[in-house]
């Protein structure tokens, strides 16, 4: 889901620069980037929960430990968790870039002078 969103945003950035309508395009990208960062974070946290369950088991549900029998599997799982949290950090950085672009665009609109009023005329 998050990868599809990122590919779609790259395609929109390349093929449709005319869609910029008073910052609405950048605002929607920033909001969707934050939603994707949340989605990737939730997936990484769910993976950590399952990894902890595989490592320690659950005596109440009568699930046995897996990592004491399949050490290589758990080592690969640890690498996958590191990659998942690296993905979370990258998604947060992408969201920060989107928000900084949004803020820089809003500064362009707010610093431009409007029409002259009676108080502006000397």
Tell me the pLDDT tens digit for each residue of 10-43.
776 677 666 555 556 667 777 888 888 899 899 9
What was the pLDDT predicted at 96?
Answer: 86
Q: Is the pTM of this model over 0.85?
A: no
64-97 pLDDT, tens digit per residue, is 888 888 888 888 989 999 999 998 999 899 888 8
SS3 call for 63: strand
Q: Is 31 exposed, middle or buried (0-12, 13-18, 19+ CB in 10 A)?
A: middle
Dihedral through CA 40, CA 42, CA 44, CA 45, nearest 10? 160
Instruction: Provide the residue ranges of all domains of the chain, joining segments of one domain with +.
Output: 36-108
C-alpha 98/C-alpha 100 separation (Å) is 5
Task: Look at 37-41, 48-52, 106-110 and tell me which has the smallest mean pLDDT.
Answer: 106-110
- Name the nearest CA neighbour of 34 among 106, 90, 91, 103: 91
């Amino acid at each position: 889901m998050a990868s599809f969103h990122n590919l779609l945003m790259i395609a929109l950035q390349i093929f449709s620069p005319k869609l910029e309508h008073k910052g609405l395009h950048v605002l929607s990208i920033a909001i969707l980037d934050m939603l994707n960062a949340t989605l990737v974070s939730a997936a990484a946290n769910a993976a950590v929960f399952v990894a902890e369950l595989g490592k320690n088991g659950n005596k109440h549900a009568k699930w046995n430990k897996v990592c004491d029998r399949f050490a290589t599997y758990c080592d690969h799982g640890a690498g996958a968790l590191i990659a998942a949290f690296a993905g979370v950090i990258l998604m947060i950085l992408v969201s920060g870039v989107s928000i900084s672009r949004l803020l820089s665009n809003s500064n362009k609109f707010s610093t431009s002078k409007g029409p002259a009023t009676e108080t502006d005329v000397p």
